[in-house]
Structure 1
């Protein structure tokens, strides 16, 4: 190994010694470890280095969590029939999308849709889990409640597994 002479101040040498493992490290191994650390996580305060910065890209969410915590898959197309009209809604990462607005739960979007079709406040009140349907075009229609019940069953099973692992 070829060596190079390096002149550093006593203050810098003392700082290097703080990173040393006594009777193991040399000045060279300390500097190697500092360089490795620098390469692995370069500062973000404007110093230029040979490292290539890649921004953190968050994966697109695969489910939307309702206001009560139920997770629904994205994308999910839902529909309902009310007052002789078909209403289409989709579940997105931002919630239940309907007429350019987003709602955090199925009941609030059902109320908004029914009001848009002329329902009064009392007529519009509804259980969104049973109001919205899926699978009507290619299969047997099911209410959104079937997905919720399956999700709740799975959560209950996972909780029992966690509790049994603690025992």
Structure 2
């Protein structure tokens, strides 16, 4: 279940709980770049696609600051065109679905519904992904070496910024 704070931030970005958006055109464009849009990616894009997220917080100097994230096709287009995926490292198909921190991290979803960034596994499912990105506690992390060794995913005990 998504945390209330996460729901508020996503809603501000245009997300509507339990509403599926039409991704037909996006799927066509993504597939034209050589991707096969599998069920886990389709489900994520239908629920969380086309969101430009501004997560505001007060920084250490007492000033308002923000983190910028996007699931918008136009923001992700570069990554589709350049085939930015982690198929080989993950061992299954992956598709870029989100850009975190203004493009500092590209997030891919795998066929099994797990989320990955360039350094390794970021979350086990979409709820953990959003709660770990925007919620009270940061998500977990599993680097590529530990992931390939089959180690268990551990959730972080560190707090996220105080987003509002």
TM-score of Structure 1 vs Structure 2, range by shorter chain = under 0.3
Indicate the structure whose relative CO is greater, using CA pairs within 8 Å and at least 6 residues apart. 2
TM-score by length of 2: 0.24
TM-score by length of 1: 0.24
